[in-house]
Amino acid sequence: MILTVTLNTALDITYRVRSLRPHASHRVSDVAERPGGKGVNVARVLAALGHEVTVTGLVGGVTGDQVRERLAHTPGLTDALMPVAGTTRRTIAVVDALSGDTTQLNEPGPQIGPAEWAAFQGFYGELLRSASAVALSGSLPPGVPVGAYAGLIRTARAAGVPVLLDTDGEPLRRGVAARPDIIKPNTEELAELTGAHDPLRATQDARRRGAHAVVASLGADGLLAVTPEGHWRAAPPTRLRGNPTGAGDAAVAGLLSGLVENLPWPTRLARAAALSAAAVPAPAAGEFDRAVYEKLLVRVAATAA
């Protein structure tokens, strides 16, 4: 079982408009509501790939009930979310049909009390007993300590469970020092962490700070991996139009699936790049276009960086 942790779960709402213009009224052509938060998106992609996955994290209120109701209909996915007193946040994505660009609005999330956080840590430790790998993804809700991911990484390492971290800012900085097996920042997050703007240099620096392996998202240029086995790049042959919001989460799902299947790093990275690209034309984060993925899987190859 793969475990994904989403401390700041969300109900993702996607609006599609013909053209997004400031200070104007818009007619929405399509609305989609999905369970969200980065770890939830990762879990939904993993389940679609045929993996058994358990979702945990913090959830509450009417919005939280909607998240859990929608998760219940996902084959291969087990809901192990822990209830809290506050109300789960919403995220709003507005997709501009003409440009293909997406504007994202993210609420902060519920206030988490010390007793709730302590209870979650104990619950997480129990779930690790049957996990083959764990992903720690996304932002921290108010009240959760900034070093939360570092603590969860140390717990996973003590249990012998490989852990992937996908977050930013100070939680990433502290998390890297706890020596996760993989981190997956984008170029902006890498630059903030290391001060370096060259992707290869920044990725190498991030690994020296404690991560066993670093996989950097380079947007349309694909993925760059710096690992103990070598350095590789993998990118789709063409740029796809759509909503890139869930592309990074799909990449995490590809990396985790390759990890538990014990695939070599080049194959792992090529799968992650194909999944990431196939998520762009999908209707919402946490999904991918299977036909696009299958075509890309035989065209994307990792090359030495």
Active site residues: 249
For 41, the 3-state DSSP assignment is: helix
Q: What do you get for the CA distance between the two ends of the chain, in Å?
A: 32
> Residue 21 has which token pair?
């213009």
Give Cβ neighbours of residue 165 (< 8 Å, ≥ 6 apart): 135, 136, 137, 149, 153, 172, 175, 176, 180, 182, 183, 184, 211
- Render the burial of 272-291: b for 16+ CB within 10 Å, e for the rest: bbbbbbbbbbbbbbbbbbee
State both tokens at 124.
């997480």
Element (H, E) at 82: strand 77-83
Residue that has been written with the tokens 């620096």 in this structure: 205
**Residues 260, 261, 267, 272: is their CA dihedral positive or negative?**
negative
Task: Check if the beta carbon of residue 288 is closer than 8 Å to that of residue 282.
Answer: yes
Which of 286, 288, 290, 293 has its CA nearest to residue 70?
286
What is d(CA 250, CA 103) in angstroms, rounded to the nearest whole number? 19
